[in-house]
Amino acid sequence: MENSSLHSLIETIVLTSNNNITITNGAGEILYFNPKHWTVYGVKQEDCLGKTVYELEAKGVFNPSITALVIKKKQQVELMQQTLTGKTIMTTAYPIFDSNNQIQFVVSYAQDQTEINKLHLQYKELERQIQNYQQVVKALRQQETAQYRNKKMEEIKRTIHRVANTNATILLLGESGVGKSMWARKIHQLSNERNEPLIEVNCSTIPESLFETELFGYEPGSFTGAHKQGKKGLIEQAHHGTLFLDEIGELSLSLQVKLLKVLVEKKFKRVGSNTDRTSHFRLITATNRPLEEMVNKGEFRLDLYYRINVIPIEIPPLKKRKEDIVFLASHYLSIMNNKYHMEKELHTETYEYLTEYHWPGNVRELENLIERLVLTVDSIIIYPSHLPQALFKNKQMEPDIIDLPLPKNNESLKARLERIEKHILLHTYKQYPSSYKVADLLGISQASAARKLKKYRAE
Ligand SMILES: Nc1ncnc2c1ncn2[C@@H]1O[C@H](COP(=O)(O)OP(=O)(O)OP(=O)(O)O)[C@@H](O)[C@H]1O
């Protein structure tokens, strides 16, 4: 092939390529610059030809110059460039050596990543929205409708309905598992911001060192390991919506200062930026810690306490609303039956045991127990004997043989054994007032336990 046709063939290939191709000599002087892509760099072909990459780098046309790096390293280089037009370019450059092993040409290919980055950001935003909707769907699927009978809970519901669309700051208090997060979600759903994001942040799970970048976000390249395009913080994501700070009592004093600053000034800066940003959000916080006590001990800042304690709502523990236990138990039973396609039932005596228990893990513990029972009990009916030991106040007790009644004069062995049996049965029944549990503990059938108990209790 003639030199001229080869030249025009190469020219066509370069021109039709999607890459921006630049060719320099070994001194970095531009010999060829694909004219089609001047918009990427913001300079025309005629402004580049004959110039060195060092001159263009100094003018900020691109930064850094990949060709300069190839000349320095004498090898292929790949990197991301920023251009005068504010674009992010992915570039790869190769050296071409002459017979003396000196660089004769450097060919670089550049691809505009701006659109890809934009798509990536949109993708992340969609991912975040999906996560939000997933939470909503999960709540709906689990029929996360608050179930209660207790009067205090009825009052709480009324307060929540009253304040939900006022934008007032709410502090949810109560033991772990009482439903603080559930009520926070409910408030958001009832508020005017229901179609905006609800950003849930568990303060106890964010490491101190990441708190600022997580909450405030960061600018591109602010620290090693940062995403190239920077990141929106949770506070920014909550803009126009609700920011729910769970476990706020776990925040260290230094993080409390940082949080207070945002709440007072209503603005923040992304890490690595000097620009103030604002985010308007409804604040809901929750904790199972005694905040007032913590304030007195100097573990929680008084000023932050005042800021978040605008409308405090204390959710009572399950043991203080016994009427809710039965209600919640049958609610979860029907949810689990539906979920696992079962038809389990709780025996009346089982309900009694559930009501007597003190539920340190509150509704969460009850929910988990019902799920476990539905999955592990073979029979249709769930009897007290299927309940875990923790639900029985005292440890299982064997009747003490020394306490057994002494033989009466002329008492037959049969009569004496019956007296001992009576003693054992009544003693066990006193500990566990359930014929099922007695049967289970003594290894007899429930029918036999019930018959014997009826007889001995009547004597
Ligand atoms: N009144 C209720 N009716 C129905 N489900 C409830 C009720 N209260 C709590 N739950 C359920 O109990 C579980 C625990 O509730 P949640 O996570 O809201 O508790 P929490 O107080 O936020 O706990 P923690 O302090 O550990 O974060 C959830 O599955 C929630 O849906």
Here the ipTM equals 0.98
pLDDT at 394: 41
Q: Is the dihedral of CA 157, 161, 162, 168 positive or negative?
A: positive
Residues in the chain: 459
Sole residue written with tokens 């949080």: 259
Give the chain's end-to-end CA distance (angstroms, integer). 119
Residue ranges per domain, the chain? 3-112, 117-314, 321-388, 401-458
Instruction: State which H helix or E strand residue 308 sits in.
Output: helix 302-308
The β-bridge partners of 21 are 109
Question: Helix, strand or coil for residue 348?
Answer: helix
Please write the tens of the pLDDT for every residue from 261-298: 999 988 898 888 888 999 999 999 999 999 999 999 99
Pick the atom of ligand 1 nearest to 147's CA.
3
Closest residue CA from atom 13 of ligand 1: 364
Give the integer Cα–Cα distance in Å for 98 and 129. 55
For a pocket test of ligand 1, which of 148, 364, 369, 371 has the largest count of ligand atoms closer than 8 A to its C-beta? 364
Distance (angstroms) between ligand 1 centre and the Cα of 153 equals: 13
Do 133 and 296 meet the contact criterion of CB atoms below 8 Å apart? no
Question: Helix, strand or coil for residue 291?
Answer: helix
- Beta-carbon contacts of 25 under 8 Å, excluding residues fewer than 6 positions away, are 31, 104, 105, 106
pLDDT at 292: 95
Name residues contacting ligand 1 (CB within 6 A).
144, 146-148, 174, 176-182, 246, 288, 328, 363-364, 367
CATH number assigned to the domain covering 117-314: 3.40.50.300
pLDDT at 53: 92
Distance (angstroms) between ligand 1 centre and the Cα of 240 equals: 25
Distance (angstroms) between ligand 1 centre and the Cα of 407 equals: 57
- Residue 223, classified by CB atoms within 10 Å of its CB into exposed (0-12), middle (13-18) or buried (19+), is exposed
pLDDT at 401: 40
pLDDT at 119: 81
Please write the tens of the pLDDT for every residue from 152-204: 999 999 999 999 999 899 999 999 999 999 999 999 989 999 889 999 999 98
For a pocket test of ligand 1, which of 148, 178, 368 has the largest count of ligand atoms closer than 8 A to its C-beta? 178
pLDDT at 333: 95
Tokens representing 93 are 């450059």
Tokens representing 127 are 């991912």
CATH number assigned to the domain covering 3-112: 3.30.450.20
> Distances in Å between the alpha carbon of 164 and those of 139, 159, 170, 281, 307?
18, 8, 9, 13, 18
Do 188 and 182 meet the contact criterion of CB atoms below 8 Å apart? no
Distance (angstroms) between ligand 1 centre and the Cα of 333 equals: 16
Q: In the chain, which residues have pLDDT < 50? A: 394-403
Distance (angstroms) between ligand 1 centre and the Cα of 254 equals: 29
Q: What's CA 251's distance to the chain center, in Å?
A: 17
> Distances in Å between the alpha carbon of 341 and those of 61, 139, 167, 284?
66, 20, 42, 37
- Residue 138, classified by CB atoms within 10 Å of its CB into exposed (0-12), middle (13-18) or buried (19+), is exposed
Give the integer Cα–Cα distance in Å for 403 and 409. 18
pLDDT at 400: 39
pLDDT at 46: 83
CATH number assigned to the domain covering 321-388: 1.10.8.60
